[in-house]
Amino acid sequence: MNRFEEALECYDSAIQKNPENADYILGKAEILKKMNRFVEALQNYDSAIQKNPENADYYNNKAITLISMYSYEEALEYYDSAFQKNPEKAEYYNCKAIALDNMNRFEEALIKNDSAIQKNLLNSEYLNRKVSSERSFCQQQYQLVFQDFDFGSIQQTKYYVN
């Protein structure tokens, strides 16, 4: 039996003894996520949220799992719930920026990057995330500018320049 399986057994035992403790359920969800058992993890996040709907971390952690499953739109909803519960936690804004980047919604990601940085100026990860979003945004804009550009017309004009 590996360490994750042992941890699951411990959480199951703790949950059985105290089924109302949402933190135990959250812990089990985190282990299941690490084991790539995402559907089971989501079920446990839902259970933890049901038992303690005011804990913003539960919504954030569920959103992170949804991103692992490429369910970006649904993840955004859970990030918004996390913001409503705790609008001061920079990590939530950074995580939502990552989801938006993955969806090629770079302008929105930059706004969330700025929010994360404003809430925690000392975290270099948030600055790096913003640089990454800016680079992706610039590349996207570059592609949009040149996708309809007729390069053939430039080649034809060189014959008239002489």
From residue 18, alpha-carbon distances to 10, 12, 22, 28 in Å are 12, 10, 9, 13
Q: Per residue in 74-104, pLDDT tens? A: 999 999 999 999 999 999 999 999 999 999 9
Whether the predicted model's global pTM rises above the 0.85 cut: no
Cβ-count burial of 25 within 10 angstroms (0-12 exposed, 13-18 middle, 19+ buried)?
A: buried
Q: Write down the H helix ranges in 35-162.
A: 38-51, 56-68, 72-85, 90-102, 106-119, 124-147, 151-161
Query: What pLDDT, on a 0 to 100 scale, did the predictor assign at position 161?
Result: 47
**Domain 1-61 annotated CATH 1.10.287.610:** no
Contact status, residue 90 vs residue 119, Cβ threshold 8 Å: yes
Per-domain residue ranges of the chain: 1-61, 88-148
Q: How far is CA 29 from CA 43, 72, 77, 134, 142, in A?
A: 8, 19, 19, 33, 41
Residues of the chain with pLDDT under 70: 1, 148-162
